[in-house]
């Protein structure tokens, strides 16, 4: 039976990326050595790194003063690394609180300076994106989370601000066109739409750095990683290679405009079933629904485990909701085929016919 990976991450990858990566683990491009045993400073790997960076630059439409870094530690390390590098103790940063990961980012930032939560959707368990808020022009930066993996909400448009804009794009980067030059810092764990776990993409603008008064440890200083071209210490070479292959695949598929169209079609189809099926209910305000992580509940909670088992038996793996919210979550990242959506819809309809 064919299985479909609906997990939120590590997430589904394109078949051709998996096939090429598996071949390269044995031997990279007929060089007589495995990808995972060559030096990170070798010509072969530096070429991989440079190609990956170039794909990022093109897909995000970056300016020349925006640096592309491949780092480790996940988005979680960036929660503290960002304020460590750009927020002085006496300064204030503004944050939009839209879910668990935004809360974690806020907690870490408070270790380095003042944080003002200018708007939050915590009052309704993060089932919408706040919209009526003012960002103080005196703030050092404004931090947003573009897609909330756990709750299933997504910013459908980016805020226009006069201060530096910082964005956690971990779960929707490269799923739709984004004008990267509008941002002063972007970060994203790779394990959703751009590769496998182990590497984190960071895009940072030059003029954001070198302004804090504190001394920053070498490995936590963005300027060091820029100077060393993401090779300060041994990077996760395999994960960077898989990211390069995935970005290459996105461009082959038609780029971010094509990805957005495909993702919209998948999301609309599944949301239509959620809304029309009498046994299921969507969780997020319709105008803020994520195209990446679709969350819903079953109207008969006692059937939750049974439905999860029925989905597994049909090959739909990983739809159980996050432990903090329960219910179900179907993560339908770039590589999820429409076929997977159709199978899940079929399970929902059959289960409702038997238990509705």
Q: Which residues are catalytic?
A: 101, 168, 192
CA Rg value for the chain:
21
Residues forming beta bridges with residue 68, ordered by sequence position = 203
The C-alpha atoms of residue 43 and residue 94 are separated, in whole angstroms, by: 42
The C-alpha atoms of residue 346 and residue 132 are separated, in whole angstroms, by: 39
Q: Find all residues with CB under 8 Å of 138, minimum gap 6, and list them.
A: 92
Strands (DSSP E) found in the chain: 4-5, 66-71, 92-97, 114-120, 142-145, 147-148, 153-154, 165-168, 185-189, 200-205, 280-282, 293-298, 316-317, 328-331
Which sign does the torsion angle of CA 92, 94, 100, 101 carry?
Answer: negative
């Amino acid at each position: 039976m064919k299985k479909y990976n609906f997990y939120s991450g590590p997430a589904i990858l394109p078949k051709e990326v998996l096939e090429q990566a598996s071949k390269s683990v044995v031997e990279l491009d007929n060089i007589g050595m495995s990808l995972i045993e060559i030096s990170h400073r070798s010509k072969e790997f530096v070429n991989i790194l440079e190609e990956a960076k170039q794909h990022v630059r093109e897909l995000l439409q970056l300016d020349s003063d925006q640096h592309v870094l491949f780092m480790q530690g996940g988005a979680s390390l960036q929660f503290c690394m960002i304020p460590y590098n750009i927020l002085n103790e006496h300064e204030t940063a503004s944050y939009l609180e839209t879910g668990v990961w935004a809360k974690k980012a806020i907690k870490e930032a408070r270790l380095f300076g003042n944080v003002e939560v200018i708007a939050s959707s915590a009052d309704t368990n993060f089932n919408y994106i706040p919209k009526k808020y003012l960002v103080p022009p005196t703030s050092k930066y404004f931090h947003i989370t573009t897609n909330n993996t756990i709750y299933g909400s997504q910013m459908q448009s980016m805020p226009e601000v006069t201060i530096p804009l910082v964005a956690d794009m971990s779960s929707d980067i490269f799923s739709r066109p984004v004008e990267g030059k509008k941002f002063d810092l972007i970060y994203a764990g790779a394990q959703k739409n751009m590769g496998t776990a182990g590497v984190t993409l960071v895009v940072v603008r030059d003029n954001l750095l070198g302004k804090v008064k504190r001394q920053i440890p070498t490995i936590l200083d963005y300027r060091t990683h820029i100077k060393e071209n993401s090779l300060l210490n041994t990077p996760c070479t395999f994960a960077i290679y898989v990211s390069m292959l995935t970005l290459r695949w996105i461009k082959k598929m038609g780029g971010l405009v094509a990805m957005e169209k495909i993702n919209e079609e998948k999301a609309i189809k599944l949301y239509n079933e959620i809304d029309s099926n009498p046994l299921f209910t969507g969780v997020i305000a319709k105008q803020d629904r994520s195209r990446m992580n679709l969350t819903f509940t079953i109207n008969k909670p006692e059937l939750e485990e049974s439905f999860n088992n029925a989905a597994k038996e049909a090959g739909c793996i990983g739809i159980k909701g996050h432990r903090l919210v329960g219910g179900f979550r179907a993560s339908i990242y770039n590589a999820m085929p429409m076929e997977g959506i159709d199978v899940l819809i079929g399970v929902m309809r059959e289960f409702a016919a038997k238990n509705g």
